[in-house]
Amino acid sequence: MRINHTRGIRNGDCLRIRAQLTAAEYSEVRRMSRSWLRWPGVVAQHHTALVLGAGLIVATIGALTYGDKDGSWYALAAVWLVIGAVAAWAVRNRRKKTAADLLGVNARLPKYSVVSSDGIRFERGVGAEPAAILTWRSVTKWREGRLVIVLFVRNRAFFPLPKMGLEPQELEYLRGLLSTSIAASRMR
């Protein structure tokens, strides 16, 4: 018998889910786990660049409005060219870092997550000893995205469950289990 390891395998009241993330799933997890309070910190870190960018925009509008009388337009174009090159380098560098981060995350993640009414058991392989067990009491909330379900744990940690390959009835079973188990653990 051949087993497709990318699909969920429902065995009794347990659901085995592939735990390794694809690049798209990792990107969605990062978006879902970031707080909206992150943006004031980003602005505070890069305030100098924002002020310089605003000054450059004002200078460009002034050059376009009042014309190029003294040849300063070439210097302004050179500054925009440098800014474009730095922005392209930053985007390329961020993509490389994200790919390296994904490799590191997948190296730390278990191979499978086995979801049951007791909690989630993380396995390094089929039939292997569980690497860890996460009970429903430690899960504070869950959010569902297009590609993943993210479980948030008490100490601000989170764990993603990829949805790729799950049948609709398996997904409904998982949603129902999460809704009832996490709500019941809050009442205890």
pLDDT on residue 2:
30
Question: What's 181's domain CATH number?
Answer: 2.30.29.30
Residues 88 and 131 placed together within one structural domain of the fold:
no
Could you tell me if 123 and 169 lie in one domain? yes
Q: What is the CA radius of gyration of the chain?
A: 24
**Residue 30 is assigned to a structural domain of this protein:** no
Q: Which domain holds residue 100?
A: 38-105
Residues 54 and 80 in one domain: yes
From 85, 105, 125, the end of a domain falls on 105
Encode the chain (188 residues) as per-residue pLDDT tens digits: 233 333 444 455 788 888 888 888 888 888 887 766 666 776 777 777 777 788 888 877 777 777 666 666 777 778 888 888 888 888 888 888 888 888 888 787 888 888 888 888 888 776 667 777 888 888 888 889 999 998 888 777 888 889 888 888 888 988 888 888 876 655 44
Closest to 166 in 3D by CA, of 152, 158, 177: 177
Q: Specify whether 66 is located in the same domain as 133.
A: no
Examine the domain organization and report whether 59 and 128 are in the same domain.
Answer: no
- Number of domains forming the structure of the chain: 2
User: What pLDDT shows up at residue 158?
Assistant: 84
**Same domain membership, residue 176 and residue 118:** yes
Return the number of other C-beta atoms located less than 10 Å from residue 98's C-beta.
Answer: 13
3 within domain boundaries: no
pLDDT of residue 4: 38
SS3 letters across 60-75: HHHHHHHCCCCCHHHH
- Answer whether residue 146 is part of any domain: yes
